[in-house]
Amino acid sequence: MRFFDTTLRDGEQTPGVSLTPAEKLEIASHLSDIGVDVIEAGSAAASVGEREAIRLISDAGLAAECCTYVRALAQDIDLAADYGADSVHLVVPVSDLHIEKKLRKTREQVCEMAWNTVEYAKSRGLIVELSGEDASRADQQFLRELFREGIERGADRLCFCDTVGLLTPERAAGVIPPLCMAPLSIHCHDDLGFALATTVAALRAGATCAHTTVNGLGERAGNTAFEELVMSLEVLYGRRTGIETGKLYQLSTVVSRLTGVPLATNKPIVGEMAFTHESGIHAHGIMRDATTYESIKPEDVGRKRRIVLGKHSGSAAVETALHEMGYHPDPHQLAEIVGRIKQLGDAGKRITDADMMTIADAVFEIEYTPAIELRQFTIVSGSNAMPTASVTLLVQGEEITGAATGNGPVDAAIRALQRSVAAVGTVRLEQYHVDAIVGGTDALVDVTVKLSKDGKTVTSRGARTDIITASVEAVIAGMNRLLREEHENRSEDTD
């Protein structure tokens, strides 16, 4: 089977998403590298920027085919050919609703437009995928006739578009086989949550290509999610997709970052919680045999398993986490630590690594001297000023002042902190999360960060009424834990 990715066209039609040509090229490179067959780079007729993106992608020497969306218009075909596209996704309305209400034409007129455009595209040396828009609500006999003549005129491939997500898996099993007169694609939208199931059903019924978007991006409720379809086929149907699944998470995070559309925490495969466990029963089972509560290995999609602590955590999970941090409690100490963690969880707090270490230090009666102390920080930001931050820290007894600019005041503050501690270690910000804020203008902001240094990671939290102060507090807490003596003895006999 084949994968036709439309993240850069249908996915970019997600409200609020706009990608530069360079960003489209970056995503296209990842798509080609992971094994996608066709990349729909955009619509050449849409704008100068779209045409530049198509040119960049077509000139990049990628293994994937470069495609562009076109209407049944000669000028669209010319733009596609002139800017280096390998193929065109020729979309024509096929339901009477679209033909009459949107185009205000007849079936006969639509057919002639489609067939003539196929012939013209072939004369320009393009591969043609003839696509029926709103095919789910079309007269299926009319659709077959349009497709049949389209193939006679030179169309290389066909596509059934479930434009508003009305096709069911059961119906797909009936309507797809008669349309397989040439390689057939299935293009589903997720308006009613059926996109993935219907895409799988269409593939089982004879379709040979799936149209997808990374993270399920797209208009309204989005399109069939690439990563979910790949793993569903691999795991549930034993179908080798040819996709390098170990790169799925990296691709997902790149697309999320560049589009500005965050991943839902509970999203399958790539969401933050997909391989995260808190429940005592689940965590205990996972530690004994991961298959007890995981259908796939996190490593198979480029992820890592995570055990988080909270009010549902049991002694086994807490003890494992403590051992990883270098603590070796006796049964009494372990029970005390578990009790304190559950108290924080009952108070609605997420338990970070820094919280855990603070609790453990208190129970072990370890005197902990922070490596970093904040003396002061200043932020300058405004409509006519680049956000700039300066911080003064006491780093292992030495006063250091650093400054940095950023995309916003929080970004500037974190960059300034990173520069200030560069002499003692390179600390990277891996994740930044702000909990939902409710209440008035003085509501508490809860910031959680994930930091890393030399392969070691730690999470920490800051809670203040000011988001910048909360962020600085969280980062300093995490840095202190990362810069702590790596071989510090934290066993029960610590002095």
- 3-state SS track over 20-57: CHHHHHHHHHHHHHHCCCEEEEEECCCCHHHHHHHHHH
| Residue 266 covered by a domain | no
pLDDT of residue 489: 47
**Angstrom distance (rounded) from CA 316 to CA 413:** 38
Together in a domain, 343 and 225: no
Give the SS3 label for residue 89.
Answer: strand
Task: Tell how strand 209-212 and strand 385-395 pair up.
Answer: unpaired
Query: Which strands make up the sheet holding 428-434, listed edge to edge?
Result: 428-434, 445-453, 456-464
Is 495 among the domain residues? no
Same-domain status, 173 and 280 = no
Contacts of 294 (CB under 8 A, 6+ apart): 275, 286, 305
**Statement to judge: residues 351 and 376 lie in one domain:** no
Dihedral angle sign, alpha carbons of residues 193, 197, 200, 202: negative
Instruction: Looking at the structure, tell me whether residues 79 and 214 fall in a common domain.
Output: yes
Question: Cα-flanking dihedrals φ and ψ of residue 39, to 5°?
Answer: -115, 115
Are 123 and 65 in a shared domain? Answer: yes
Query: What gap in Å lies between CA 260 and CA 104, rounded to an integer?
Result: 37
Its pTM stands at 0.76
Q: Is 265 contained in some domain?
A: no
Q: Does the residue 268 lie in any domain?
A: no
CA nearest 177: which of 206, 210, 148?
206
Task: Count structural domains, the chain.
Answer: 3
* Token code pair at residue 271: 């969401």
Judge whether 318 and 355 are in contact, CB under 8 Å.
no
Pair of tokens at residue 145: 């006739």
Q: The CATH number of the domain where 383 resides is what?
A: 3.30.160.270
- The reported pLDDT for the residue numbered 486 is 46
Residues 208 and 347 in one domain: no
pLDDT tens digits in sequence order for the chain, 495 residues long: 999 999 999 999 998 899 999 999 999 999 999 999 999 999 999 999 999 999 999 999 999 999 999 999 999 999 999 999 999 999 999 999 999 999 999 999 999 999 999 999 999 999 999 999 999 999 999 999 999 999 999 999 999 999 999 999 999 999 999 999 999 999 999 999 999 999 999 999 999 999 999 999 999 999 999 999 999 999 999 999 999 999 999 999 999 999 999 888 889 999 876 777 554 444 445 555 566 656 788 888 998 766 667 777 778 778 877 887 788 999 999 999 888 888 888 877 777 777 888 888 888 877 777 888 999 999 998 877 789 999 999 988 889 999 999 888 999 999 999 998 888 778 888 888 787 555 555 566 778 888 888 878 888 888 778 889 989 988 998 898 888 754 454 544 444
Domain boundary among 232, 259, 286: 259
- pLDDT at res. 462: 82
Beta-strand runs (E) in 263-345: 276-277, 306-307, 327-328
Residue 183 lies in a domain: yes
User: Which of 259, 291, 306 is a domain's end point?
Assistant: 259
Does 269 map to a domain?
no
Task: Among 331, 364, 397, give the residue marking a domain's end.
Answer: 364
As a whole number of angstroms, the distance between CA 162 and CA 218 comes to: 13
Assess contact for 205 and 186: CB atoms under 8 A: no
Q: Provide the residue type at 153 as one letter.
A: R
Same domain flag for 283 and 193: no
The answer to whether residues 169 and 196 touch, using CB atoms and an 8 Å cutoff, is no
Q: Which of 323, 366, 369 is nearest to 495 (CA)?
A: 366
11 secondary structure, DSSP code: G
CB 8 within 8 A of CB 28: yes
**Together in a domain, 95 and 202:** yes
CATH (domain of 250): 3.20.20.70
Are residue 15 and residue 139 in the same domain, yes or no?
A: yes
Q: Would you list the DSSP string of 215-266?
A: GG--STT-B-BHHHHHHHHHHHS-------GGGHHHHHHHHHHHHT-PPPTT
Domain-located, residue 113: yes
Same-domain check for residues 398 and 474:
yes
Residue 48 pLDDT:
95
3 state DSSP class of 307: strand
| Statement to judge: residues 255 and 325 lie in one domain | no
Angstrom distance (rounded) from CA 235 to CA 244: 14
Helix axes 74-82, 107-123, angle to 10 degrees: 30
Q: Which residues form the domain of 311?
A: 276-364
Could you tell me if 270 and 217 are in contact, meaning their C-beta atoms sit under 8 angstroms apart? no
388 vs 381: CA distance, rounded Å? 7
Per-residue burial over 173-201, b if 16 or more Cβ lie within 10 Å, else e, is: eebbeebeebebbbbbbbbeebbbbbbbb
Name the nearest CA neighbour of 214 among 75, 371, 450, 31: 31
283 found inside a domain: yes
User: Cα–Cα distance between 386 and 456 in angstroms, integer?
Assistant: 33
pLDDT given at position 493: 46
Q: What is the CATH number of the domain that holds 359?
A: 1.10.238
CA distance 336 to 319: 12
122 shares its domain with 219: yes
